[in-house]
Chain A
């Protein structure tokens, strides 16, 4: 199983960014997926979850209404659209496979920096 995130970078407060996660080595459409982030020097924080079909999504209170998770099973890809970004969204963002209530495989992460 390999998960590769991309799309991170420097963005101004109030701006938008779209993260991608390319999956290989698994039947992507069989598994729910999760985004998790880690602010510099801090612990991990669960961000969002999507069902295997994409029909159900969940968000942490800190990103609800600003972030949108989606997936394209034909492209084996997971996405996170981030709008109205704030300084406290600065973090490394990881995608992970959700297998029976455990995030077992993680990508290497992509850094998002929100700063003027």
Chain B
């Protein structure tokens, strides 16, 4: 069992966009459309931002969008705001009631 690979950090200026990648294998990301993205502030619990690759839960701004190509999923945050500065984690269902999480990406808003 391995973690999904994310870049350790990403940054963008206020109002600009940032995209985070999440690379798995054909057994997880590449095999299921059950990729989720979570936002986490220091000392707080993760919050679901994207599920099933590109769906947004109620209340999540449409500045957050998700996509997938092959074994790699991506989260894009458009129109960056100061409150978007946080850690972001991806997750993929991997079959057999198991899940893999990403290594996490710290997003900095410049």
Residue ranges of A at the interface with B (Cβ–Cβ < 8 Å): 32, 34, 36, 42-46, 49, 51, 56, 58, 60-62, 94, 101-109
B104 contacts A43, C-beta separation under 8 Å: yes
Contact assessment for B97 and A102 in the assembled complex, using a CB-CB cutoff below 8 Å: no
Q: How many A-B residue pairs have CB under 8 A?
A: 65
> What 7 additional pairs, Cβ within 8 angstroms, besides A44-B91, A103-B48?
A43-B104, A46-B100, A58-B97, A102-B52, A106-B45, A106-B47, A108-B45
Q: In the complex the two chains form, what is the Cα distance from A32 to B102 in whole Å?
A: 22
- Interface residues of chain B, those whose CB is within 8 Å of chain A, are 1, 3, 6, 32, 34, 36, 38, 44-48, 51-52, 57, 89, 91, 93, 96-104
Chain A CB within 10 Å — which of B36, B44, B101 has the most? B101
Which of B6, B47, B48, B57 has most chain A Cβ within 10 Å? B48
State which of A43, A60, A94, A101 has its C-beta within 8 Å of the C-beta of B45: A94
| Identity of the chain B residue whose Cβ is nearest the Cβ of A3 in the assembled complex | B45
Task: Report whether B101 and A36 are in contact in the complex, using a CB–CB cutoff of 8 Å.
Answer: yes
Q: Is the interface of B mostly helix, strand, loop or mixed?
A: loop
CB of A35 to closest CB in B, whole Å: 11
Tell me the complex Cα distance, A108–B46, Å. Answer: 9
User: If the complex has contacts A102-B34, A104-B57, are A34 and B1 also in contact, measured as CB distance less than 8 A?
Assistant: no
Q: Complex: how many Å from CA A34 to CA B93?
A: 12
B48 and A104 form a contact (CB under 8 A): yes
- A44 in contact with B45 (CB, 8 Å): no
* CB-defined contacts of B98 to chain A, threshold 8 Å: 46, 49, 58, 60
Taking CB atoms, residues of chain A closer than 8 Å to B97 are 32, 49, 51, 56, 58
Residues of A within 8 Å of B89, CB to CB, are 43-44
Task: Give the top 6 A-B pairs by smallest Cβ distance, nearest first.
Answer: A44-B101, A43-B104, A101-B34, A46-B99, A102-B51, A58-B97
Considering the chains assembled together, what is the distance between the CA atoms of A44 and B48 in angstroms? 13
Measured between C-beta atoms, what is the minimum distance from B22 to chain A in Å? 11
